[in-house]
Structure 1
Amino acid sequence: MLIRGTSESALLTSLGIGAVVVGACVPTSAVGDGPVLCPFRRLTGLPCPGCGLTRSFVYTMHGDLPAAFAAHAFGPPLVAFSLVAAVTAVVRRRRGHGAVDLRRAVRHPLVVVAVIAWLGYAVARAAVGT
């Protein structure tokens, strides 16, 4: 356990929902042309696999899906996944079920394909330098 009395899946779900809430609260004007904060990008000039996710979350939560997908193709699906994970966690808790077993979940073929696609996308972005 990462935090006493809190499962890893609950912590990850909370972090995802926190990112979604921040995305909803930050105005799109604040993320348009801000400074580069990513240490990897500052050091290499190349985007890391997560570069653009903050902008993508903000644009998604403000309904600008073209800008969200342009910032990071995995942003809108990750927002949707975070919301579904939160609803699932609440439903499981209300029904008296335990938290989702992350060790089992990360081995699911859909998760494996998503991670491979994310890494492929990151390599492609780094190759073109955007």
Structure 2
Amino acid sequence: MACLVFTNPAGPSHFSLCPLKAMGIAWCPGCGLGHAIAYLFHGDIRASFHAHWLGIPAVLGILYRIYTLIFPVNYLARMQRVDTHR
């Protein structure tokens, strides 16, 4: 995620580790998602949505997962409460 903050997805020399791009295939759903996240971090929500419509939900899901990894006690306590109600 930090790398996507500092990349320019609209630039002509956009660096990519995509194996499809290395083979010369122009379209890749993963690249579109990466571009969408980069556009979102640059504040261009419209370009983010046009690059890949799952970019915004992906960022929200990744940030939530980072939160649960940083604060595992809150997450584990909440999961135990859910299991006791079943």
Normalising by structure 1, we get a TM-score of 0.45
Query: What residue is the counterpart of 2:67 in the other structure?
Result: 87
From 6, 11, 16, the counterpart of 1:33: 11
Change (3 A) 1:22 1:41: closer
Q: 2:33, 2:51 within 8 Å by CA — same for their partners in 1?
A: yes
Cα distance between partner residues in 2 of 1:95 and 1:76 = 25
Amino acid paired to 1:65: I
Larger radius of gyration: 2
Amino acid paired to 1:45: I
Aligned runs of 1:1-80 on 2, under 5 Å? 19=1, 21-24=2-5, 26=6, 30-35=8-13, 37=16, 38-43=18-23, 45-80=25-60
Change (3 A) 1:53 1:96: closer
Query: What residue is the counterpart of 1:15 in the other structure?
Result: none
Q: Match of 1:52, SS?
A: helix
Cα distance between partner residues in 2 of 1:96 and 1:77 = 20
Cα distance between partner residues in 2 of 1:96 and 1:83 = 14
Structure with more relative contact order (C-alpha pairs < 8 Å, separation 6 or more): 1
Cα distance between partner residues in 2 of 1:83 and 1:45 = 30
Cα distance between partner residues in 2 of 1:42 and 1:23 = 19
Structure 2: tracts of 5 or more residues without a match: 80-86
Cα distance between partner residues in 2 of 1:85 and 1:67 = 25
- Matched residues, number: 76
